[in-house]
Structure 1
């Protein structure tokens, strides 16, 4: 994880109640997740990564805290697995 991504991750981790959908999407993309092509009328954004379960985030503002905490947990486990 590069320095800018690390700073964004720490910012989100410190205050998960105040995260914009744009910040969360930026973090996921910087961490290697790809957004699945959106089906028409879908209210969720789906992100995929090889050997990972997809992450579904409602495109509702503000993003609820449990979605943020789930992303934090996934990224921390990824970092731990990769030994970083």
Structure 2
């Protein structure tokens, strides 16, 4: 995970704690703030992870590790007729 994803996750956990505290203290404003900030943190985390996934998938992979000509030669060299 990236630093930004960690921060969003920390914000979501903090929002859950604020919501729990507001519920225990019977303070409606804390519950409202906690639920709203939790929702925004989770939406932001999902958006960031989706963007990271799209960027990761759209990047081109590196060059092929295997040269097709060398692979073909190695397979044909082991045939009994080529010995």
Scaled by the length of structure 1, what TM-score is found? 0.32
Higher fraction of strand: 1
Bigger RCO (CA 8 Å, 6+ sep): 1
Higher fraction of helix: 2
Higher gyration radius (CA): 2
Scaled by the length of structure 2, what TM-score is found? 0.33
